[in-house]
Amino acid sequence: MLIMHHGHSEFLMESADGYRILTDPFDDHVGYPMHTVDCDAVTVTHGHGDHSYVQKAQGAQVIVDHAGTVHLTPEITVTGIPCWHDDQQGKLRGQNLIFIYEIDGLRVAHFGDLGAWDEELAARLEDIDILMIPVGGFFTINAASAARLIERIKPRMVLPMHYKTDANATWPIAPLDDCLAALGAQDAPRMPLLRVTKEDLSEQPRIAILTDRA
């Protein structure tokens, strides 16, 4: 399995047999370079433009933007779990979805713009191999809350997302270095992409930064 980070909350996952899933495609107000992406499916955690610009997805046959389980192929499933975009049960920013993908024997989770969590939600998020989690705060949980959730659900590997960079420098969210300090991961390695199998997952770093696509 390959995972690439395009910036913000947009990742491209590719299974061993070449099936490609794009997560939370961003629009041009985010500040990152805009590219079209060849993929087979798109998942959208919520309807805000920085997570739902599906027009950039070329060739996608399926758009998943709802709770429940979808069989993308006989071997690949995605399950949407409803949660909130804020800590006031959606009164500020509405609902969000957490997606759990089962690909190549791995359970991969994308938390979208998770704004709050509790023990009931955490109990549904155990046994995750690779976790993509927002850490920047303000619009989502911050790094301290993310660290507590990581400790609670114990994923095998963590890929932080949704933090301040040069592309979104005016946004009221925390920069990556501050987030890594809160996560206790100042030495997290930078990678251009993640190539991983279930067999070599234990050899991967606990927290890694996937560098943004230029």
Q: What is the pLDDT of residues 110-164, one digit of tens each?
A: 999 999 999 999 999 989 999 999 999 999 999 999 999 999 999 999 999 999 9
Position 93 scores a pLDDT of 84
Residue 209 domain-assigned? Answer: no
pLDDT class of 89 with cuts at 50, 70, 90: confident
Residue 214 forms part of a structural domain: no
- CB under 8 Å to 195, separation ≥6 — which residues? 1, 2
Residue 208 lies in a domain: no
Identify residue 167 by its one-letter amino acid code: A
Q: Is 53 inside a domain boundary?
A: yes
Q: Is residue 56 part of a domain?
A: yes
Q: Would you say residue 210 lies in a domain? A: no
Query: What is the C-alpha to C-alpha distance for residues 11 and 105, in angstroms, rounded to an integer?
Result: 19
156: nearest Cα among 209, 108, 104: 108
- How many Å is the Cα radius of gyration of the chain? 16
- State the CATH number of the domain containing residue 31: 3.60.15.10
Is 211 within the bounds of a domain? no
- Total number of domains constituting the chain: 1
| CA 130 centroid distance within chain | 10
Is residue 212, in this structure, part of any structural domain at all? Answer: no
Amino acid at 6: H
Provide the domain limits for residue 61.
2-199
Identify the DSSP state of 207: B
